[in-house]
Amino acid sequence: MTALRLAVLGHGFVSDLHVRAARQAGATPVVVAGRDATRCAEFAARHGIARITTDWREAVTAEDIDAVVVGTPNSLHHTQTMTAISAGKHVLVDKPLATSVAEADDIAAAAGAAGVVVLVGHMWRYRDEVVAARDRIRDGAVGRPVRTRSYGIHAGWGPGGWFTDPALAGGGSLIDMGIHAVDTTRFLLDDPQPVRVQASIGTAYGAYDVDDDAVVLIDWSNGVRSVVEAGWWQPRLDGVEADTEVYGTAGYERIWPQFTPAHPAPDDYVHCSLPMYAAQMADFVHCCRSGGTPRASLEVGRTALAIVEQAYRAAASSAG
Provide the 10 A C-beta neighbour count for residue 101. 17
Closest CA to 174 of 121, 213, 125: 213
Mean pLDDT of 222-236: 97
What b-and-e string marks burial along 167-186, b requiring 16 or more CB atoms within 10 Å of the CB? Answer: ebbbbbbbbbbbbbbbbbbb
Range(s) of the chain covered by CATH 3.40.50.720: 5-122+275-295
Angle between helices 179-188 and 128-138 (to 10 degrees): 40
DSSP state for residue 162 in the 8-state scheme: G
CA-CA distance, 176 to 308, in Å (whole number)? 10
CATH of domain 125-271+306-318: 3.30.360.10
pLDDT computed for residue 320 by the predictor: 65
Asked if pLDDT for residue 264 goes beyond 90, the answer is no
Asked if pLDDT for residue 1 goes beyond 90, the answer is no
- Structure confidence at residue 269 as a pLDDT band (50, 70, 90): very high
- Which residues are CB-neighbours of 5 under 8 A, at least 6 positions away? 27, 28, 30, 64, 65, 66, 67
Q: Which residues are 244's β-sheet partners?
A: 150
Reported pTM: 0.96
- Structure confidence at residue 24 as a pLDDT band (50, 70, 90): very high
CA-CA distance, 16 to 266, in Å (whole number)? 24
Given this structure, which CATH class describes domain 5-122+275-295?
alpha beta
Asked if pLDDT for residue 262 goes beyond 90, the answer is no
Q: Are strands 145-155 and 244-248 parallel, antiparallel or unpaired?
A: antiparallel
Range(s) of the chain covered by CATH 3.30.360.10: 125-271+306-318
Q: Which residues are 6's β-sheet partners?
A: 29, 67
What's the chain's average pLDDT? Answer: 97
